Amino acid sequence: MIDNSLALMSANYTPKNISLDNSTDVRLKEQTDKFEAFFIKKVLDISLKNDNTLFEKDAGDKIYNSMYNDAMSNSLTGKFGFSEMLFNFLKEGR
């Protein structure tokens, strides 16, 4: 099992305060956050793939790993700056 608690605690990126002027901005921010979570989950799925295990694999392994990657991606959303960068880019394009 990989312990990522130290990485989560030491993430020192602080997103800038984004001004959400109207409901369109709020919805756009929600979608950019979801995209960042999706992107992080895909990275985790690839990087934490473990085909050579010590024990036999069972049906629950895939479910547990998927749930773990979901939880990690949701907790890391907003820490990398992808959401903020995408939000600002899409907001300027309107």
Domains of the chain by residue range: 21-92
* More reliable by pLDDT, 21 or 86: 86
pLDDT band at 8 (very low <50, low <70, confident <90, very high): low
* DSSP assignment of 6-75: HHHHT-----------SHHHHHHHHHHHHHHHHHHHHHHHHHT---S-SS---HHHHHHHHHHHHHHHHH
Residue 13: pLDDT over 80:
no
Phi, psi of 76 (to 5 degrees): -90, -10
Q: What is the pLDDT of residue 80?
A: 86
Q: Tens digit of pLDDT for each residue in 34-82? A: 999 999 999 998 988 877 666 677 778 888 888 999 999 999 988 888 9
Angle at 58 between CA 57 and CA 62, to 5 degrees: 90
Question: Residues 73, 38: contact at Cβ < 8 Å?
Answer: yes
Q: Is the pTM of this model over 0.75?
A: no
Residue 29: pLDDT over 60:
yes
Q: What is the pLDDT of residue 48?
A: 83
Q: Report the distance separating Cα 30 and Cα 3, nearest Å.
A: 28
